Chain A
Amino acid sequence: ETGVTQTPRHLVMGMTNKKSLKCEQHLGHNAMYWYKQSAKKPLELMFVYSLEERVENNSVPSRFSPECPNSSHLFLHLHTLQPEDSALYLCASSQPGGGRTNTEAFFGQGTRLTVV
């Protein structure tokens, strides 16, 4: 148990579907992140929320839409995805301190997404 829980663990969706990924952290952290991990590519930071406000977007396509209703929950809403969006999507949280927005990140188990 990592303290960061993601659901679902696996998701297969068509290109016209709308789905959402959910992340919940029980660590009392106030920063949460979405990462994308594709085969043979470095981890890509998609979104950062600190104190429930988005602080980083990293030019992610609009077919990915994040939502952070409170410091414990993070969603990634998906619509009209492409096959190349198939990847492992990882949620992480951290507890920034000393004026820094990043310290040690704790990761969820990830959602393996396949777009068909």
Chain B
Amino acid sequence: ELKVEQNPLFLSMQEGKNYTIYCNYSTTSDRLYWYRQDPGKSLESLFVLLSNGAVKQEGRLMASLDTKARLSTLHITAAVHDLSATYFCAVDMWMDSNYQLIWGAGTKLIIKP
């Protein structure tokens, strides 16, 4: 079964702390995306990870991809309130003769001042 699992689904943390969101997927893929969604808003692309060992950083967020472990992480360093949002990972998977984006359920992140 094609699955993308995010962990945790909900996270409440204090400003200044570090934390990691995990994205596991069930079958071979070499392309993974991270998106951010603010309440009532659309999805904003954060990172595109295209190969094993890929690491990308933007401000306090850093994403990495391990295709052998079928795992991506989104690490938050010294969290600030503005990073409160829901974060989704999505994986390109080959199914029904096409590549499709398979989505995780999202991780709702609340950062308290």
Residues of A bordering B, CB below 8 Å: 2, 41-43, 45, 48, 55-56, 90, 92, 100-110, 112
CB-CB nearest 10 A-B residue pairs: A43-B103, A107-B43, A107-B42, A102-B99, A42-B105, A109-B42, A100-B99, A101-B98, A101-B99, A42-B103
Chain B hits for A2, CB < 8 A: 42, 44
Q: List 6 A–B pairs whose Cβ atoms lie within 8 Å, in order of A's numbering.
A: A41-B105, A43-B90, A100-B92, A101-B100, A105-B45, A110-B41
Complex contacts, B99 vs chain A, CB 8 Å: 100-102
Whether A90 lies near B42 (C-beta < 8 A) is yes
A-B pairs under 8 A by CB, number: 54
Q: Tell me if B33 and A90 are in contact (CB < 8 A).
A: no
Nearest opposing residue in chain A for B96, CB measure: A56
Please count how many residues in chain B sit with their CB below 8 Å of the partner chain's CB atoms: 22
Contacts of A105 in B (CB 8 A): 33, 43, 45, 90, 101
- The answer to whether A109 and B41 have CB atoms under 8 Å apart is yes
Report the separation of the CA atoms of residues A47 and B22 in the bound assembly, to the nearest whole angstrom.
Answer: 28
Chain B residue contacts of A109, Cβ below 8 A? 41-42
CB distance from A54 to the nearest CB of B (A): 12
- Inter-chain contacts of B43 with A (CB < 8 A): 90, 92, 105, 107
Contacts of B86-113 to chain A: CB distance below 8 A: 88, 90, 92, 96, 98-101, 103-106
Known: A100-B99, A108-B42. 6 other contacts (CB 8 A): A2-B44, A101-B98, A101-B100, A103-B48, A104-B48, A107-B35
Given contacts A42-B106, A90-B43, contact A104 B88 (CB under 8 A): no
Contact of A104 with B42 in the complex, beta carbons under 8 Å: no
Q: Which of B17-58 contact A (CB under 8 A)?
A: 31, 33, 35, 40-45, 48
Known contacts A2-B42, A42-B106: A104-B33 contact under CB 8 Å:
yes
Task: Known A90-B43, A102-B92, A108-B42; judge A42-B98 contact (CB<8 A).
Answer: no
